[in-house]
Structure 1
Amino acid sequence: MENEHTELIIGYLMGNLPPEEMTHFYGWVNESASNKELFFEIKAMYDAGISLGKPIDTASSWQRLLNRKKNSQIRRFKLWYQISTYAAVALLAVAISSVYFLFFHESDKGLYSRYIGGNGLEADVVELPDGTHVSLGSKTTFYYDKDFGKDKRVVYLEGEAYFDVAKQKNKPFIVKTKEQDIEALGTKFNVMAYPLDSMVITTLLEGSVRLTTANIAQQTILKPNQQSVYNRNSKFAYLQKVDALQFTSWTAGYYYFPEQSLETILERMSHVYGIQFSINSEKLKKKTFTGTFYRGQSIKDIMEIIRLSMPIRYRINSQYVIISEI
């Protein structure tokens, strides 16, 4: 079934579909989550070819990925069958606990709720007492204290989260990261602030937010489709115009990278997959890539897609990937 739609997707990406085929494409791609996954996987390879500056044999490349994916799925099914025969109850408990963990702690601030994002294909969503929805990225810690909603709505973030804030004009909503306070009255925005990353990135979809940043005297007001990038090393911040929707696609398991450096891309993937990347070339670190990855893809598939765009060799060793120039 996947093969039957490859030409349809490639035709769409190349802009060659006639009107009736275009209608068929939109109907098919919106039919199910698996169809969207197939589209984005093929799109990632197509984008890699565009970045390379020459056409690639997308159909053949896709077939190789399908073969690897099929073999991997067969192995996973056999393993699942063996495990479920002996430990179905234990496995179910592990699956449930992987969504997110909820803790109640006593601290200087009083009792507070603490959430830790899981590793699912889609973001874990938490609904706050005020009706705000927060989508949590992988390896993300998020919490709020017992005074949430009294005068202000203050939450704390280490990692990545997408906020759909409930409107309460008299109770500002404030996201606190290590270096920034991000204030919103009613809006949709994304914050990426992993503790060990060099960048803190805030992207606005709707409404407006006010950023107060340590070491920077002047506050910053973001407008829709603006992004603030703060460099923790240089203590420098700047604004840029972006398509904000592309920076929230991760909530559905898709990670889009528009002309970003290999170092930046792999830094993001390290959080998603819990894998460390080492690039043995300063030149490679700065090479740029445009493409889309899906959370369901393996690290090997992702590295193969990147390899289509730039000359690299890589070695995967358990939870560690070493990358070098050819």
Structure 2
Amino acid sequence: MSKIRQIVQLFFEDDHPTETKQKFYRWFLAPISESEKEKALFEQWNRIESIADPSTKDSFNEVIARFGVDKRKQRLRVTPKLIRIAAVLLIPIITSLAAYLYVKNSETQSVEFVEYFTPNANLRTIDLPDGSSVTMNYGSIIVYPRNFTAKRREVFLSGEAKFTVSHDKKRPFIVKTNDMNIEALGTIFNVSSYVENSETIATLVDGKVRIDMKNSEENFILEPSQQIVLDRETGKTFIRQAKLELELAWEKGYLSFQNADIEDIMQEIQRKYDVRIYANYKEIKGEKLTVKFTPDESLYEIFKTIQLLINRFNYRIEGDNIYIY
């Protein structure tokens, strides 16, 4: 067995201290022996798959979608796969996924991490070490240092969350996503940054935030009730007035959308109801909706309403599987 295969196997066979995990990620990020690392990775997948339950592959595909690297950038072909597989097949290593995401998106290299993951069909509110609070939407993950000891309070988000930030004039509070950094001082704002969605959106409720884009040198200042939208397909960014009652309705269990792409709507339905949607979007691609569904509406009622709003929208519900054609 090669040394690389031994390292990968040892990583998966036991839990490790945070420092060891971070060293492993940095080694795996290094652009050397990528082909051998990939082979070792899939050996682990094939080995563990034989003892996984029947839903493992579906979960695996879901995590691939949620934590995937931007396909347009194609920077690292191997590394994200390791963490995705770990997240699904070895649930205790979800902390490893969190640490990896933070290291990948932060300048901080030596720190103890805390992560929270909110599964589909669940909402969660947590308190951060500085007294700030975060309400997390379905299928979201947040990563942050156990103690905010640096000059900046930095957290990493994949998914959607509403932040109520504790005021600290000397230490800016920064939310990092794959597409933008949102900096705030004593403010309330919402961030939606699911990797599988076509847009990243930051909405200011109260106070003031600064947005630094990662795909350009642009930065923006938002006023209350404004939101910034990044279209991941075109790379274009724009600011618009937000309907806060729609943007924040998810906290109370509502499904609400403001000029949302039909594909993003289907992703949100998947997360809230923990179902699988198989869709052929050819006939309805580009359709957008502004609509709000109450917490007690069933899947049947939701899809019936969408069918009334969009021509050529046909669907079939079979248990936890939904087919759109």
Q: Which residue of 2 aligns with 1:267?
A: 267
Corresponding position: 1:249 with 2:257: no
Q: Which residue of 1 aligns with 2:60?
A: none
TM-score (ref. length: structure 2): 0.62
Q: Which residue of 2 aligns with 1:321?
A: 322
Secondary structure in 1 matching 2:218 = coil
Corresponding position: 1:135 with 2:131: no
Secondary structure in 2 matching 1:160 = strand
Q: Which residue of 2 aligns with 1:148?
A: 148
Q: Which residue of 2 aligns with 1:292?
A: 292
Secondary structure in 1 matching 2:297 = coil
Q: Which residue of 1 aligns with 2:173?
A: 173
Q: Is the CA contact (8 Å cut-off) linking 1:188 and 1:204 kept in structure 2? A: yes
Deviation of the 1:260 alpha carbon: 3.3
Structure 1: gaps of 5 or more residues: 1-100
Corresponding position: 1:222 with 2:239: no
1:175-228 CA deviation, whole Å, 9 max, x = no partner? 011121110011111111112222111111111111111121121111111111
Deviation of the 1:296 alpha carbon: 4.1
One-letter amino acid of the counterpart of residue 153, structure 1: R
Q: Is the CA contact (8 Å cut-off) linking 1:102 and 1:114 kept in structure 2? A: no
1:282-324 CA deviation, whole Å, 9 max, x = no partner? 3423334332113443322211222232343211244432223
Q: Which residue of 1 aligns with 2:118?
A: 117
Q: Is the CA contact (8 Å cut-off) linking 1:144 and 1:155 kept in structure 2? A: yes
Secondary structure in 2 matching 1:148 = coil
Secondary structure in 2 matching 1:265 = helix
Q: Is the CA contact (8 Å cut-off) linking 1:102 and 1:116 kept in structure 2? A: no
Q: Which residue of 2 aligns with 1:213?
A: 213
Q: Which residue of 2 aligns with 1:160?
A: 160
One-letter amino acid of the counterpart of residue 235, structure 2: K
TM-score (ref. length: structure 1): 0.62
1:156-177 CA deviation, whole Å, 9 max, x = no partner? 1011100011111111000011
Q: Distance in 2 between matches of 1:120 and 1:317?
A: 19
Q: Distance in 1 between matches of 2:237 and 2:272?
A: 25
Q: Which residue of 2 aligns with 1:93?
A: none
User: Cα RMSD between the aligned structures?
Assistant: 2.5
Deviation of the 1:252 alpha carbon: 1.0
1:86-119 CA deviation, whole Å, 9 max, x = no partner? xxxxxxxxxxxxxxx9976677533111101144
Q: Is the CA contact (8 Å cut-off) linking 2:120 and 2:271 kept in structure 1? A: no
| Bigger shift: residues 136-145 or 265-274 | 265-274
Using CA pairs below 8 Å that are at least 6 residues apart, which structure has the higher relative contact order? 1
1:300-315 correspondence to structure 2 within 5 Å? 300-311=300-311, 312-315=313-316
Whichever structure has more strand as a proportion of its residues is 1
Secondary structure in 2 matching 1:264 = helix
Q: Which residue of 2 aligns with 1:231?
A: 231
Deviation of the 1:238 alpha carbon: 1.1
**Distance change in 2, residues 1:160/1:102 (3 Å):** farther
Secondary structure in 2 matching 1:130 = coil
Structure 2: gaps of 5 or more residues: 1-91, 101-108
Q: Is the CA contact (8 Å cut-off) linking 2:198 and 2:264 kept in structure 1? A: no
Matched residues, number: 223
**Distance change in 2, residues 1:204/1:160 (3 Å):** same
| Bigger shift: residues 308-317 or 180-189 | 308-317
**Distance change in 2, residues 1:220/1:102 (3 Å):** farther
One-letter amino acid of the counterpart of residue 243, structure 2: D
Larger radius of gyration between Structure 1 and Structure 2: 1
Q: Distance in 2 between matches of 1:234 and 1:242?
A: 21
Secondary structure in 2 matching 1:272 = helix
Deviation of the 1:133 alpha carbon: 0.8
Q: Distance in 2 between matches of 1:270 and 1:201?
A: 19
Secondary structure in 2 matching 1:217 = coil
Q: Distance in 2 between matches of 1:286 and 1:220?
A: 27
Q: Is the CA contact (8 Å cut-off) linking 1:132 and 1:164 kept in structure 2? A: yes
Secondary structure in 2 matching 1:284 = coil
**Distance change in 2, residues 1:103/1:320 (3 Å):** closer
Deviation of the 1:147 alpha carbon: 4.8
Secondary structure in 2 matching 1:166 = coil
Q: Which residue of 2 aligns with 1:258?
A: 258
